[in-house]
Structure formats: C-alpha cells, structure tokens
Structure 1
Amino acid sequence: MFRQTLSSTRVLARSFRPQLIQRTAFLSLRGYATRKYTPEHEWVSVDANGVGTVGITEYAAKALGDVVFVEIPEVGTPVLQKEQLSAVESVKAASDVYAPLSGEVIEVNQELESEPSLINSSPFEKGWIAKIKLTKKEELDGLLDEAAYAEHIKE
C-alpha cells in the first residue's frame, strides 16, 4: 500500500511540473511588462522588445467623461518624453496626452477613430493610443509604479 501511494505521488508531481514551469515563465514575462504611470495620468507597458504601449489611465478616462474624439499620432513620428503625443476630447473637456517615454511611433490604435469610447470602456486593453519603439529605456526609472500612482491619485 505504501509503495502505491509513493509511486502515485511521484507521477502526480511530474504531471504538475510543466504547468509550474509555464506559470513561472509567464510571471517573469508579466513582471517585465508591468505598467508604469506618469503624474499626468498616462500609462505605458513595455514589452521585451523595447516597445511601449501608451494610453491614459482609468482615473483620467473617468475624470474626462465620455470620450468623443481621439487625435491619433502618425506612424513614424518621433516623440520625446513629456511632449504632446495625442489629444483626447470628451463631452466635458479636451486634454493633451503626453509621451511617457522617448521614441518613435510604430503603431497606432485605428479603432479609436471610429470608437473613441474604447478609452472609457477599456483604457488598458482596447483603448491604448500608440505603440512607441523606445530610444531611452532608462526613462522608465523616472515613472511611477502602480503603488506610487495609487498614492498620487489619492492626493
């Protein structure tokens, strides 16, 4: 009886090993692509290839109200950190969107032209504005992490 239990435990342990390895790989990748924030309510998520996806935070989207227009930057446009990247207009106000990092715009979210409300309904997934190939990755160090940004919006 003891042998059966011991051998079945080994089989069970082996069957979970690939899942554990996959989960560890996912978590390490996820850790690299952690979102960073600016005090002006932009966010950026940088992938392993040095491409940052940029948008405005849920806090900013709620403060603006219903977004009715998004000015999309052109692909190939060079941007510098803290310079205007885009603009967002809502029923309440218009607001400039600043580049959280320096680089070149390599992709834009064309869906925002016909459906600007994606910024309100899905600011982190479907409501992103542009993807920037970073030229100064060290600028990431000056951005807020999630905890620091949460403290910032409490003030």
Structure 2
Amino acid sequence: MYGIRIPDNPEQIPLWLAQVVDTAVVRYLWYGHGDAIMLVHSATAPNAVWRVLPALDKRWWRPSALAAWIATATLTAIYAPGTPADPSVLRPFSTSRHAAEEAFARAVAHGDEHVIKFADTAVDVCARTRDPQALAAIDRAAALIKL
C-alpha cells in the first residue's frame, strides 16, 4: 500500500515535518519553473507549521503535520512540471562560509515577498542539512519570480 506515514509519537513529528520542508526546498530548485510562486508555498506552508509546533498542544501536532503535507503534496502535484530544470540554468552551488547570508541578502534585494519568505525557509533548511542546493534554490526563486 502506498501512502504517507506520519509518526504516531508527537516527539518524532518535528523531524518528520522538517524533512518535508527540506525536500520541498530542494525540489523547488529543480521544479520551481512549473509555477514559481505556487511552488514556493510547497516549502513555506509546512515550514510555518513546523515553526508553530512548540506553541501548539501536542495533540494537534499530527493533524497539523498532515495538513502541511497535504498542502505540499497538492501544490507539487498541480504545479510541478514533469521535467526538472536544465542544470545549465542553475546558479552554481556555493559552499562559502557566508553563503547563507549572501543568498538571503540577494533575496531581500530582489524585493518580492515570496522570494524573501522562501529564502527564510531555505536558509533554515541549509542550516539543518548543510545542503548547498537549498541556497541555490533561493537564487532560482529570485530568477523565476519577476517583480
């Protein structure tokens, strides 16, 4: 049987939800060209839930995680294209010590609220995973979303 498996143990939900966010951010790098703004939300919606979990009663963690996953899955199913981006259109992945700050500064300079919101999420992902693709996804959002 196929399907999503959200942990029953509330203590495991933050990590599970963080993995949903991590996957959505990196997926944006490769598939954001389907609909640049709508696919931003595939990462930022579950990140918003992840951030508010500590303020919620733990009995709400699992249903909140499910709702976040449904949002991510739905947006991805509707707006992600069948073909990933050609690597030649992507900015090289940076591993410099200040890469996150520089990527976030570029997002702020871009000025679009979706780019900035996505950058905030992607910086969290990079800090958690050390995956430079998360920072490259910020530049991809800035390139795809025009003011």
User: TM-score scaled to structure 2, two decimals?
Assistant: 0.25
Larger relative strand fraction: 1
Larger relative helix fraction: 2
Between Structure 1 and Structure 2, whose CA radius of gyration is higher? 1
User: TM-score scaled to structure 1, two decimals?
Assistant: 0.24
Greater RCO (CA < 8 Å, at least 6 residues apart):
2
